[in-house]
Structure 1
Amino acid sequence: MGTRLGHRQVLLRPLPLGRETQDRMTVPAYGLVCLTTGPEIRFRTITLTRYRALNPDQRYGTLLELYADNVARVRRAADYCAARGIRLYRLSSSLFPMLDLDGDDTGAQVLTHLAPQLRDAGHAFQDHGIRVLMHPEQFIVLNSDRPEVRESSLRAITTHAQVMDALNLERSTWNLLLLHGGKGGRAQELQAIIPDLPDAVRLRLGLENDERAYSPRDLLPVCEATGTPLILDAHHHVVHDRLPDQEDPSVREWVLAARRTWTPPEWQVVHLSNGLDGPQDRRHSWLIDQVPSAYHDVPWIEVEAKGKEEALVALGACAPTLST
């Protein structure tokens, strides 16, 4: 599987990489997160209130039309990324609303009906050599102290993994399924849960540090004990530890510590964002003003900027005007 990574060492064009920029660097695959600011990659949804107002026959037909349209849009997203040289794409976790409703399997029936189209969409990414990840919403808290939250969280994350299976994405961290640490102060509970997760979840699972509850230091023992890769977010680390900026030496230390949790290390993914109004601002800026020099040899970088594809263009990471 590693042969398809395709990253190589070359001289990097000048970019805002911080004060201690290296002369020779890995050219990373910068990742697009879910949507575009323009109309090119957008997905449809339905509210729970509207869905529940429909009778059972209407529910199936409504979800069939919506899901089929979103699958087609996923397929077009693969072509969009390929045309612009984007080799990393985060799949939206909201493609199939109502899929994880407790006691209602309408969405699951529709997804089964669309199995051929889903496989085709997944194959499109594979054929283009595009790595696909998913990062579900933060309401998934596997280590909650409330049993009903743990139950709904497990149902939701399992549903996301089933979607990845339907797209024929690998059950490995090549096709990462990423979560935060969840409920603060419950790292041991999280560590105990991971080995018992369904294979479709566990084999893809990665954990990311956040700006409030879990620092890299908190998550590293969990990752090491369970064989789960750590995804470093330098912006979150700076906010959590109240550091001056992303050039703090500890960022490089955590890049390397996180890399040791990846098998193979060439699959390492990090997150890149800047604060809207300075390093301590949790809000993401529109574009990326600074890439930390600690990321100089990281092969896969998800860009979490409000400007989406505009941020990738500004980084020189994708072509701005190619047609799909």
Structure 2
Amino acid sequence: MIVRFGFVAMSMLLQNASPSKTMTYTNFAKLADREAALRKLERIAEENLRNTLRLLRHCFAHDIMVYRFSSKLIPLVTHDDLKEWSPWDVLGQPLADLGAFVRSKQMRVSFHPDHFCVFSTPRPEVLVKSCDDLTYHLRILEAMGLDETAKCNIHIGGAYGDKPASAERFVRQFGDLPVRFRSRITLENDDKTFTARETLNSAEEVGTPMVLDLHHHAVNDGGETASSLYSELWPRILRTWDIPPKGNTDVQAKESPERQTAADTAGQAVPRTAAVAASPAEADASAADDGSGRRGMEAGAAGSCGSGAEAGAALPAKLPPKLHVSSPKSEKDPRGHADYVEVEPLLRFLRETEGSVDRLDCMIEAKQKDAALFKLMDDFRSLEAAGEGVRIIDGASIEVL
């Protein structure tokens, strides 16, 4: 089993490379010239996108082919008082440059929208905001010219005093989204409310791949045994990566974005915000070129894997399942994320699941970001030297033997 590792957003090693510089709305509102204030937001966003390209190059230089974008690339773009602001034309080229790099290097990229993106909510106005937030992430991916293998990972949301009812509401409200949205989503178990089994049940019902978070499962296992995790849940999780999304098949790909008030959405499963205009880069996506005179490889498309299993960098035609890995910060704060990842629990899981799938991608959610990835790879090198059934493929990939 080939296992690739990635990290989230920030680098602890690159200097002055934050992809999430921002401006608070309070400071924005203090600027007397609104147009000048909007141009300042656009300059911040341009810097974030330039830094993201630096981060992608840093990743590729170290064989890291799995990366999660910051959700704060464009500051304040979803704020209610900035509805008229459309930065997409100004940011079209740097976004297209990011997408071209991802495609040419066949990297796997993703987003993790913030905690307020909740489709289990009973409140229509929160559902509107959830759709707004998902729209924002979708438009970025489309402006990059990336296909549906570039995913947004979300949680089911809150229980709101009745977990079964909330799960049913999630299935209904999420299922009513256009397939253009749902085909971009993965669903992850959380650390307090919805267990791996409960999340899996919902993922199967809506036809969405499930990301298993090992840390979340450790602190919110719902009484699951190790045996049931490996023998029942894990095979079912793998199958979620094989099924198409279910529910509404109306793509609505060319409708203009339109916001609604909470009153407008009362009694509706999904607001019209779900219908999003084509991104600025969508119309001329064919112009994205990898330098060879042909269109760059779509993310996730089948491409040359070099020497087959040795080419841990190449993305196969079918997306590998994904894990999230991190370690508890302390005994007093078991849900918090530590600076680094403990290798033993991860290796135990990989050994138990070896043979169930050819390839697996692991997103490291440790506080030390890429430094945590490099330390984990050092730990695996030690295990390889000790004959522990691990083989190092490159700077960010291993094979479990």
SS class of match (1:299): strand
Q: In 2 relative to 1, CA 319–29 (structure 1 residues): closer, same or farther, beyond 3 Å?
A: closer
Alignment match of 1:217 (pick from 197, 208, 227): 197
Work out the CA distance in 2 between the residues paired with 1:228 and 1:243.
24
2:35 — aligned with what? 57
Q: 1:293 corresponds to which residue? A: 348
- Partner in structure 1 of residue 324 of structure 2: 271
The equivalent of 1:70 in structure 2 is: 48
- Residue 215 (structure 2) pairs with residue 162 (structure 1): no
TM-score (norm 2): 0.67
Task: Determine if contact 2:10/2:18 at 8 Å carries over to the other structure.
Answer: yes
SS at match of 1:145: coil
- Name the SS for the 1:283 alignment partner: coil
Give matches, 1:1-324, under 5 Å: 26-40=1-15, 41-43=17-19, 44-54=21-31, 55-105=33-83, 107=85, 109-170=86-147, 172=148, 174-184=149-159, 185=163, 186-241=166-221, 248-253=226-231, 254-263=233-242, 266-278=319-331, 281-289=334-342, 290=344, 291-296=346-351, 297=354, 299-316=360-377, 319=395
Give the partner amino acid of 1:191.
V
The aligned residue for residue 312 of structure 2 is none
Shift of residue 314, structure 1, vs aligned partner: 1.4
Structure 1 residue 155 displacement after superposition = 0.8
After TM superposition, give the deviation of residue 181 of structure 1 in Å.
0.9
| 1:123 CA displacement | 1.1
1:161 positional shift: 0.9
Residues 128-168 of structure 1, C-alpha deviations (whole Å, 9 max, x = no match): 22110110111211221222111111111111111111111
Give 1:111 shift.
2.1
Cα distance in 2 between the residues matched to 1:129 and 1:50 = 39
Letter of the structure 2 residue corresponding to residue 63 of structure 1: L
Q: SS of 2:372's equivalent?
A: helix
Distance 1:303 1:249 in 2: 24
> Contact conserved, 1:27 with 1:299, CA < 8 A, in 2?
yes
Partner Cα distance (2:220, 2:333) in 1: 9
Are the equivalent residues in 1 in contact too, given 2:5–2:373 (CA < 8 A)? yes
Q: Please, which runs of 5 or more residues in structure 2 have no aligned partner?
A: 244-317, 379-393, 397-401
Once residues 200 and 97 of structure 1 are traced to their aligned partners in structure 2, the CA distance between those partners, rounded to angstroms, is 24
Q: Provide the rounded CA distance (Å) in 2 between the counterparts of 1:59 and 1:198.
A: 34
Matches of 1:67 and 1:156 in 2, distance apart? 17
Amino acid across the alignment from 1:235: H
What are the ranges of 5 or more consecutive residues in structure 1 without an aligned counterpart? Answer: 1-25
Letter in structure 1 aligned against 2:348: S
CA distance in 2, matches of 1:45, 1:187: 34
Deviates most, 234-243 or 136-145: 234-243
| Contact 1:238/1:280 (8 A) holds in 2 | no
Q: After superposition, what is the alpha-carbon deviation per residue over 1:177-230, rounded to whole angstroms, capped at 9, x for unaligned?
A: 110110211011110112322444211111100111101111222211211011
C-alpha distance in structure 2 between counterparts of 1:272 and 1:148, whole Å = 33
CA distance in 1, matches of 2:189, 2:338: 19
SS for the counterpart of 2:6 is strand
Distance in 2, matches of 1:274 and 1:136, equals 21
Q: TM-score, normalised by structure 1?
A: 0.82
CA–CA distance in structure 2, aligned partners of residues 306 and 293 of structure 1: 22
Question: Match of 1:132, SS?
Answer: strand
CA RMSD of aligned residues (A): 2.4
* Rounded Cα–Cα distance in structure 1 between residues aligned with 2:222 and 2:368: 25
Identical aligned pairs, as a percentage?
27
Secondary structure, counterpart of 1:249 in structure 2:
helix
Which amino acid in the other structure matches residue 29 of structure 1? R
Q: How many residue pairs were aligned? A: 290
With over 3 angstroms needed to count, the CA separation of the structure-2 counterparts of 1:229 and 1:268, relative to structure 1, is: same
